[in-house]
Structure 1
Amino acid sequence: MHHTAFLSEWGNNALDFSKKGPSGILPTTHFIVTALIIGRADVENVLAVLKAVSKRHFDGGQIDSEKTGNNHIKRKEVLEDLEELPFQVFSVIIDKRQLIGEGLRYKGSFFKFLHGLADRELFRIFPDLEMVADRTGDETFMKGFISYVQQNHIANLFNESSFGFVAANDSPIVQLAHFIAGTLARCYDETEITDQRGEFIQILKRKVLTIRFWPDAFAHNLINQPQPGPSFDPLLSELSVNLANDFLHRKSVDKAPQAIDQVSSLSYLLFHFRHISPTRYITSFELIEHIRARRGKNVSLHYFQTKVIAPLRDAGVLIASSSRGYKLPASQQDLYDFIGHSNTIIEPMLSRVKRFRDQIYMATDGKIDVLAADEYKVIRKVID
């Protein structure tokens, strides 16, 4: 599929948090780069809906996060009006307070660092993107990012990436990208954060392709972390997240369709674990639908189980499952759910194999043992 990424940025490049800027504005604690990924065939449909959203909420003007401000009811209404639109949200969220290296105290070095980070994460997912970015001024993240992408992704027969500027007032989709970035700021930035952040993410969750944090620490959590107890074990939860992140870091550059689906599904499980609820199971249907939205193609339940979930587990990722779906384990009960669910499959199957073997063995007076081959020695040992 051919996709277009509409990019916008939120935040400022100030790294001295002890004083206000020239206009009296506090330095933002975070810098956010957001891209809306849209199939080129869907752009016209998205524009038509955004025109209606503009009329309903902004008197026909720009879809403006700053204008919405702390009117959280209006922000939720806008987000809810966008739920059925065919776009996905990619975002890189940088905690500027963690940029302690002196080399990053300068605007040029700071932006160069961000350029490499955003480029690496975005092109891992879509190596052949047409990009449209907000023309917000001369000294912005986006202007340098254009040059960075052009230098590092030279167009050739296998990569037809292109990148261009557009004025925000000429592109409702770029306006929407900035609106989403501003919404994420109210979920993460200490100067903007609001108690409604959980509600915003709850609405956006179906649209999120991925959110990458720098640095990527376990503590990034929108939800209030549950108290340790039967349903939440902090050490087990951190192990689940670390093993998931380890797989994502190793496999994110793999362009094989199955690897892409594994990364996409695991990212979705990780996002829900960290930002929605560590106790919630995700149904197979929801995960399969996420794969379909990601690559525009339906996959079967058998494919999902054997080519996505099974290889993730084989690679050491902890994925619990039950009749309610899949999740990263956060408690001992999640572990027992997986063992119990597996037992309902394994035990009856072994019983059938034993019955099959015994019938053949007796009917042939012991001449045929279907489990005699070395490749079946594990099953033979268990049954014996």
Structure 2
Amino acid sequence: MNDIQFAFIDESGDYSFDFENKDVSSHFIIVSILAKESNKELLEQEVEMVRQKYFQTDEMHTDKMDNPHLRIQLLNELKDLPFNIYAYVVDKRKIREDSGITFEKTFIKFMNRLIYDDLNRTFDQLDLVLVEQGTKEFMTEFKTYIKEKSVPDLFNYSIFGFNHSKSELLLQLANFIAGTIAKGYDQTQYSEHYPLFHKIIKKKIIAINLWPQNYKNYLHDYISRNQDSQFDEVIFKQSVNLTLQYLEKNKKSEDADEKIRMDLLKFLLFNLRENPNEYVYTQEILDNLNAIRVNKINHHYFRSNIVSKLRDSGLLIASSNKGYKLPVCLTDLYDFVNLSSLTIHPMIQRISKCRNQVLLATNNEIDILENNEYEYLKKIIDLEKLAVTE
């Protein structure tokens, strides 16, 4: 059996929609701490040392640490440990009242289905671990929902479900990370230090899935590099909406490459929300995608089978020598055009020179671009010649 992947899950926030009550959370957050079985024991040992250092005899719960500077120190001690973060952030304020889910019971049922469907699509195998008891109604309902959906094999093992695995320490880690993420979203928890928190754990995050899905969710703290351009918000909106439409259209796909493409888009959306003007290096993207995969993706496969196919489908993905991003302004698109032109134009010139040499040697009897499939190339080269003569 392959190295088992565990998901230790906890939540932050509540299920209430009574926003007139200042104590009601604006967001509901679910965090999965992903860890391989081969790393589980080491991770538990390291987390226990961190817990003892910062919490002594208490559990490592987020509400027991108010000091942001201590949180920064603690996160720095966690950042190199062998785990990843996969999260959901639900802005309850943006859920329409007429949607039918602004009631606690229906909201919990809806979230059960939403998270189960996404996790089941994203991960081929996942051994889930939740809190065993307590007052967290969502966790209780989610556990029941998963058990109804999962089908054990002949050895009573579920490749996606519960298999009696336990780790109180890693559930505490999930709680602490959920509380940390809440400080960047939830109005009852918000901290001005969140950008520092995020910077420390950024490379641990596989995805933070925002819901409801709307491009305006990604405009948080967005400052365009070209504020004088009237088209920047149009570009921003188009790039995100095309991405969200693609994710919705292909969410039930079982194709392995399609799953990689969707995971890439989720990662780019997350980066857009946190760092709208920054590119992500290819290696960082590959590290993110490969963290949840047995069969690793290399650079060539990533460019030719993942990014290229998304662009073929009409999605806007900017690239430069600094990596990839979803475009938010004209400058991002120019980056893509400039990078592409560095490859395209020299290649066309080489083909043109090769063609000219063959025409010259054969007294114009052989034109290597004569075949119908090269008609487009021939037109481009002939137009370029015409432009030069003019």
The TM-score, its normalising length taken from structure 1, stands at 0.90
Per the TM alignment, residue 302 of structure 1 is displaced from its structure 2 partner at its CA by: 1.6
CA offsets 1:356-380 (integer angstroms, 9 cap, x no match): 1122222233332211111111111
Distance in 2, Cα, partners of 1:134 & 1:214: 24
CA offsets 1:311-349 (integer angstroms, 9 cap, x no match): 111111111122222221122121112111111111110
2:76 to 57, 75, 80: 80
Per the TM alignment, residue 221 of structure 1 is displaced from its structure 2 partner at its CA by: 4.5
Q: What code does the residue aligned with 1:146 have?
A: K
Distance 1:106 1:381, change over 3 A: closer
Uncovered stretches (5+) of structure 1, i.e. residues with no partner: 21-25
2:260 counterpart of 1:261: yes
1:372 to 364, 370, 379: 370
1:286 to 271, 276, 284: 284
Aligned partner of 1:111 in structure 2 is: 108
Distance 1:359 1:146, change over 3 A: same
Per the TM alignment, residue 45 of structure 1 is displaced from its structure 2 partner at its CA by: 2.0
Aligned pairs (5 A) from 1:189-228: 189-221=186-218, 224-226=221-223
Distance in 1, Cα, partners of 2:255 & 2:101: 36
Distance in 1, Cα, partners of 2:101 & 2:265: 32
Distance 1:166 1:109, change over 3 A: farther
Distance in 2, Cα, partners of 1:337 & 1:242: 21
Greater shift in the superposed pair: 255-264 or 180-189: 255-264
Aligned partner of 1:121 in structure 2 is: 118
Q: Secondary structure at the match of 1:187?
A: coil
Aligned partner of 1:243 in structure 2 is: 242
Distance 1:117 1:335, change over 3 A: same
Q: Secondary structure at the match of 1:294?
A: coil
Distance 1:87 1:250, change over 3 A: farther
2:341 to 340, 343, 360: 343
2:385 counterpart of 1:383: no
Aligned partner of 1:97 in structure 2 is: 93
Q: What code does the residue aligned with 2:116 have?
A: D
Per the TM alignment, residue 95 of structure 1 is displaced from its structure 2 partner at its CA by: 2.1
Greater shift in the superposed pair: 180-189 or 11-20: 11-20
Aligned 8 A contact 1:34 1:177 in 2? yes
RMSD: 2.4
Uncovered stretches (5+) of structure 2, i.e. residues with no partner: 383-390
Distance 1:322 1:102, change over 3 A: closer
Aligned 8 A contact 1:7 1:33 in 2? yes
Q: What code does the residue aligned with 1:259 have?
A: E
Aligned partner of 1:355 in structure 2 is: 353
Q: Secondary structure at the match of 1:44?
A: helix
2:142 to 133, 145, 157: 145
Aligned pairs (5 A) from 1:251-330: 251-275=250-274, 277-330=275-328
